[in-house]
Amino acid sequence: NKGNYEHYMQKEIHEQPESLKTTMRGRLIRGGSCKAKTVLLGGLKDHFKTIRRSRRIVFIGCGTSYNAALAARPILEELSGVPVTMEIASDLLDRQGPIYREDTAVFVSQSGETADTLHALEYALENGALCVGITNTVGSAIARHTHCGVHINAGAEIGVASTKAYTSQIVVMAMLALAIGGDSITSQTRREAIIDGLFDLPNKVREVLKLDQEMKDLAKLLIAEQSLLVFGRGYNYATALEGALKVKEVALMHSEGMLAGEMKHGPLALVDENLTIIVIATRDSCFSKQQSVIQQLHARKGRLIVMCSKGDAVSACPGGFGRVIEVPQVEDCLQPVINIVPLQLLAYHLTVLRGYNVDQPRNLAKSVTTQ
Ligand code: UD1
Ligand code: F6R
């Protein structure tokens, strides 16, 4: 049921304040005056000891689910103290890459039925790793075959392009980082700030959704582009990949997400006055590096669209060149949840304006059950 919306993708984008609430329900505890703020993940409580002792945490997934894990990687590294590596399921299988008994392998999948991810799970089970699932579908193959896990509880996702599952996956993995981190004193202030940030996140998502009309106007300007690049780094490297994935899969426009730190190592050659580039430059420890990326792209006459924190347009885009998308600022590790929303809206409006099928892009299936 699409309710008042024209398409499932549109409904699912706008539903995110509610889906995120459901994801967090019962799992965030804001203690009383003397009780600490904590996270409760029922499905993992008997396994944290093993996870903390593992030699590394390996995230495994495909497409959007892989991108969600990439978005959560920095906070997991920071709070868990365990090395975190990333694997695209098909690539792990192609290489028969190393998975050890001492590993915690985390399988991220909305459907819980993706063949590549499921085969990678079988492979990790054979190799003796602790296998953890992060899925949206109770009773799915991945939920059944993992040793333990977390349901993201985002509600059924119908649109082929994953939107609300992505933001709920990131939130679950941020909660996972908090839970693995335990109650170490050194990170207490940081952990409490993240928990407060999680409580307020649905409100902030509601706020960023108000950019809908602005993104529709931007889509009108970009309707005939050949290509769209998206540059991000740090917490928002994943946002660049995921934003570009949405644009290519539904709007059928060539789009690439790139690590801004790699710009000078090749992609800069593409830049001229005909190329549109979205640069994600919200405030975090990478901001000054992004400022210099913006300067260099501007010097090559790239057509810039800069995503920055509210009130930051002048620092992010001095001289007023380019267009600015201002988004509410949240705790740095949660910022990817906010920053993807305008890009989801942009992909949605581009698709409608270009006359393509939003909910059922050509050649794609919601759940990829063949390898
Ligand atoms: C569970 C209940 C929830 C109830 C809550 C109350 C289910 C599905 N969930 O939620 O309805 O309100 O207790 O305390 O009954 N699992 C995997 N792999 C996965 C995902 C999950 O093995 O990919 C396992 C978990 O380890 C756990 C079970 O499935 O044993 C349920 O997981 P989850 O729904 O996340 O647990 P709770 O949030 O505790
Ligand atoms: C993109 C998209 C795909 C899926 C991928 C994995 O919008 O939907 O990239 O994310 O096929 O699917 P799940 O998460 O079901 O394993």
Q: pLDDT by residue (tens digit) across 294-312? A: 999 999 999 999 999 999 9
User: 146 in ligand 1 pocket by Cβ < 6 Å?
Assistant: yes
Would you say residue 34 has pLDDT above 80? no
User: 368 in ligand 2 pocket by Cβ < 6 Å?
Assistant: yes
Tell me the mean pLDDT in the region 124-132.
98
Would you say residue 356 has pLDDT above 80? yes
**Three-point CA angle 40, 147, 144, nearest 5°:** 100
Taking CA atoms only, the protein residue closest to ligand 2 atom 5 is 63
Least confident interval from 7-16, 185-194, 212-221, 228-237: 185-194
Q: Hunting for tokens 């915690």 — which residue is that?
A: 104
Enumerate residues 6+ apart whose C-beta is below 8 A from 98: none
Residue 260: predicted pLDDT: 98
What φ, ψ does residue 323 adopt, rounded to 5°?
A: -100, 150
Mean pLDDT across the chain: 95
User: 63 in ligand 2 pocket by Cβ < 6 Å?
Assistant: yes
Atom of ligand 1 nearest to the CA of 151: 35
Tell me the mean pLDDT in the region 126-135.
98
User: 74 in ligand 1 pocket by Cβ < 6 Å?
Assistant: no
Taking CA atoms only, the protein residue closest to ligand 2 atom 9 is 63
Question: Given pLDDT bands bounded at 50, 70 and 90, which one contains residue 144?
Answer: very high
Residue 33: predicted pLDDT: 62
The number of CA neighbours under 13 Å toward the Cβ of 337 is 32
The number of beta carbons lying within 10 Å of the beta carbon of residue 291 is 18
Question: Given pLDDT bands bounded at 50, 70 and 90, which one contains residue 240?
Answer: very high
User: 64 in ligand 2 pocket by Cβ < 6 Å?
Assistant: yes
Atom of ligand 2 nearest to the CA of 111: 15
Atom of ligand 2 nearest to the CA of 367: 15
What is d(CA 18, CA 314) in angstroms, rounded to the nearest whole number? 33
Tell me the mean pLDDT in the region 32-42.
80
User: 158 in ligand 2 pocket by Cβ < 6 Å?
Assistant: no
Contact 251, 347 (CB under 8 A): yes
Least confident interval from 29-33, 182-186, 228-232: 29-33
Residue 35: predicted pLDDT: 65
Question: Given pLDDT bands bounded at 50, 70 and 90, which one contains residue 280?
Answer: very high
Beta bridge partners of 254: 227
Tell me the mean pLDDT in the region 246-272.
96
Distance 307 CA to ligand 2 centre (A): 25
In the numeric block, which tokens belong to residue 95? 């290489």
Would you say residue 102 has pLDDT above 90? yes
Atom of ligand 1 nearest to the CA of 147: 22
Ligand 1 pocket test: which of 22, 151, 169 has the largest number of ligand atoms within 8 Å of its C-beta?
A: 151
In the numeric block, which tokens belong to residue 17? 């304040």
3-state secondary structure labels for all residues of the chain? CCCCCCCHHHHHHHCHHHHHHHHHCCCEECCCCCCCCEECCHHHCCCHHHHHHCCEEEEEECHHHHHHHHHHHHHHHHHHCCCEEEEEHHHHHHHCCCCCCCEEEEEEECCCCCHHHHHHHHHHHHCCCEEEEEECCCCCHHHHHCCEEEECCCCCCCCCCCCHHHHHHHHHHHHHHHHHHCCCHHHHHHHHHHHHHHHHHHHHHHHHHHHHHHHHHHHHHHCCCCEEEEEECHHHHHHHHHHHHHHHHHHCCEEEEEEHHHHHHCHHHHCCCCCEEEEECCCCCCHHHHHHHHHHHHHCCCEEEEEEECCCHHHHCHHHCCEEEEECCCCHHHHHHHHHHHHHHHHHHHHHHHCCCCCCCCCCCCCCCCC
What is d(CA 338, CA 233) in angstroms, rounded to the nearest whole number? 15
Atom of ligand 2 nearest to the CA of 61: 16
User: 54 in ligand 2 pocket by Cβ < 6 Å?
Assistant: no
Max Cα distance, the chain (Å):
59
Question: Given pLDDT bands bounded at 50, 70 and 90, which one contains residue 184?
Answer: confident
Question: Looking at the CA of 61, which ligand is closest?
Answer: 2
Q: Which of 173, 172, 167, 175 is nearest to 191 (CA)?
A: 175
Atom of ligand 1 nearest to the CA of 44: 26
Percent of the chain with pLDDT over 70: 99
User: 111 in ligand 2 pocket by Cβ < 6 Å?
Assistant: yes
Q: Which of 95, 43, 83 is nearest to 59 (CA)?
A: 83
Taking CA atoms only, the protein residue closest to ligand 1 atom 7 is 138
Taking CA atoms only, the protein residue closest to ligand 1 atom 10 is 42
What is d(CA 267, CA 259) in angstroms, rounded to the nearest whole number? 10
Distance 111 CA to ligand 2 centre (A): 8
Has the ipTM of the complex gone over 0.95?
A: yes
Distance 143 CA to ligand 1 centre (A): 9
Would you say residue 320 has pLDDT above 90? no
Least confident interval from 87-91, 194-198, 256-260, 319-323: 319-323
Taking CA atoms only, the protein residue closest to ligand 2 atom 11 is 63
